[in-house]
Structure 1
Amino acid sequence: MSRSYHGLLQLGNPECENKMQKLCEYYYPIKHSLTIPFEEKAKHMEGWQEKGHALLIEAGLTLDAIKRSVADAKIEFRDGVVELLKLLEERGVPVLILSAGLADVIEEVLRQKLPRFPKNVKIVSNQMVFSNDGCLVSFKGKTIHVLNKNEHALDMASSVRDQFGETKGQSDDNVSVKRRTNALLLGDHIGDLGMSYGLNYEYQIAVGFLNDDVEKFLETYQNAFDIVCVNDAPMWGVVELVSQICPSRGH
């Protein structure tokens, strides 16, 4: 459970909101620790997610509450994000959004905050299961946290619309991603570098966004990513990169 989703959702349950805040305060430093071994950190991240999910169910989160929370939230994309998504769609490039957050929230944000939902976007994240009256009752499939985003990513993406806006079966849908030989990876955590594991790419450019504790983590990010953007930098550099390496259709 990232701090951003905790701040976004209006749970309407002060007790659960307080518990959620305490989870964030405890686990957030663990998430960014450079000394905790990977396996130990992964167990902590899975525990954070599962406890957070349980609190959302306990709080009685509803689908209507998600829609209302997104509508009321002051969400701003980085400068250039809308243009980047438009450019990738125009040039027929599949986009996988791999997130340790909540798929239903991410989809609602894209639907409400973009001019229209991009046809080439697939969301791979924790999926909610709602009752007939719209109440959250459980979560579907494997818990996704910041250190295991890549696991089963293609399988989970199979039921989402493909790059042409259609819904296809798993085998056909996965082909549009698996046949790609190059990858552009964007992430804001060192663990995000694992998002492309399982993709049989020949070349990859990894762009890291370092938003907090820049002096502390800059060298680590520079050693891990090909390009590092700091302090909530805009997306214009990535837009220019895509313009140069992704040819227009018909060329």
Structure 2
Amino acid sequence: MNYSFQFQVQAIVHTSFRQRHFSSFLRYTASRRNLEMEEVKDASDLLVGDPALMETKIEAIRLGGPQKLQVIADFDATLTKFSVNGTRGQSSHGLLQQGNPEYDAKRQQLYEYYHPLEFSPTIGLEEKTKLMEEWWGKTHALLVEGGLTYESIRQSVANANIAFREGVPELFEFLEERDIPVLIFSAGLADTIEEVLRQKLHRYFKNVRIVSNRMVFDDNGSLVSFKGKLIHSLNKNEHALDMAAPVHERFGDMDGPTDDNASLKKRTNVLLLGDHLGDLGMSDGLNYETRISLGFLTAVLVEGLKPPFVPVSYHYVIYSIETALFNF
């Protein structure tokens, strides 16, 4: 796939406001000033569950206008690349190096034990949810016990194998110009995500807010606790919307002005972006009128699982091991 993330998502937004007809999947080709939409009819790594339903949804979003739309996006392997320089990209949890090899090793051991369970087709949702709570809770405890510092986060991000998908900055700018909010909803670490945004995008977007596991530091920059509800891969939903906040400065100061989160609940048209079936719950608790979901189901294939259930879960699905590993 040689077209960027920006164009994939921007095409849906643009189509919602400008186009009345939609048959499969649209993409942009050409420069930002001279955008041209082209249908992709035979892309084996693109699936559209119900084209007729999509036409109805896009028309509803178009009629609602930008003022009723919000974008809800997962972070790891959705906004960021699944593969970077030919190797698996790191997550906001996985990139952290505490400066204490013993605790880094302990967190890696937890990953090796729990990660296969996250994708196991033989474990029921209730049991799997408990396992994810255990994993996240133990990991957070190790970060505190191991003496993680804010400076360690900065250094870890600087050395990390992580990158945004091509076109993400332009997409954020496109949405910012239209006053369409972006809610980054992640089971990762808010403070790490913010540092990735600073170091990789080098600018502040007033429309971007983050819901994730947020750290509390003391005056010396050492982690002392986490605040708010623990968010893991299977409990992401907008019941945690009260945790949404603009990008922070160090130790909890805001980079941008705070807005009433109630205004997000009034935006009842949603474009949802995720890479995990659990991400579909990110809009739960929001009384939305119309939702379009776009799934990057790379990990499903990499873990060796079959995707026949995918088209009925996400409205749009992008999945191809070769494409996902080398072209995203």
Question: What TM-score results when the alignment is normalised by the length of structure 2?
Answer: 0.65
The 2-side partners of 1:103 and 1:213 are apart by 25
SS of the equivalent of 1:30 reads helix
Summarize deviations over 1:44-65 as a string: whole Å, max 9, x none. Answer: 1111000000111122110111
Structure 2: gaps spanning 5 or more residues:
1-75, 77-89, 248-255
SS of the equivalent of 1:152 reads helix
- Paired residues for 1:1-251 under 5 Å: 4-150=91-237, 152-157=239-244, 159-160=245-246, 165-168=256-259, 173-214=260-301, 216-230=305-319, 231=321, 233=324
Structure 1: which amino acid aligns with 2:108? Answer: Q
Cα distance change on mapping 1:7 and 1:148 into 2, 3 Å? closer
Summarize deviations over 1:164-187 as a string: whole Å, max 9, x none. Answer: x5224xxxx123211112100001
SS of the equivalent of 1:129 reads strand
Q: Compute the displacement of 1:34 (Å).
A: 2.6
The 1-side partners of 2:234 and 2:270 are apart by 19
SS of the equivalent of 1:65 reads helix
SS of the equivalent of 1:217 reads coil
The 1-side partners of 2:170 and 2:106 are apart by 38
Structure 1: which amino acid aligns with 2:306? Answer: F
Structure 2: which amino acid aligns with 1:160? Answer: P
Higher helix proportion, which one? 1
SS of the equivalent of 1:185 reads strand
Question: What TM-score results when the alignment is normalised by the length of structure 1?
Answer: 0.84
State the identity as a percent.
Answer: 60
The 2-side partners of 1:209 and 1:166 are apart by 32
Q: Compute the displacement of 1:151 (Å).
A: 5.2
Q: Compute the displacement of 1:225 (Å).
A: 0.5
Aligned residues: 227
Structure 1: gaps spanning 5 or more residues:
235-251
The 1-side partners of 2:311 and 2:120 are apart by 17
- Contact 2:268-2:288 at 8 Å conserved across structures: yes
The 2-side partners of 1:93 and 1:45 are apart by 32
The 1-side partners of 2:241 and 2:183 are apart by 9
The 1-side partners of 2:270 and 2:216 are apart by 31
- Contact 1:6-1:21 at 8 Å conserved across structures: no
The 1-side partners of 2:154 and 2:208 are apart by 20
RCO comparison, higher one (Cα < 8 Å, 6+): 2
For the pair shown, the structure with the greater C-alpha radius of gyration is 2
Aligned-pair Cα RMSD in Å: 2.2
Cα distance change on mapping 1:106 and 1:21 into 2, 3 Å? same
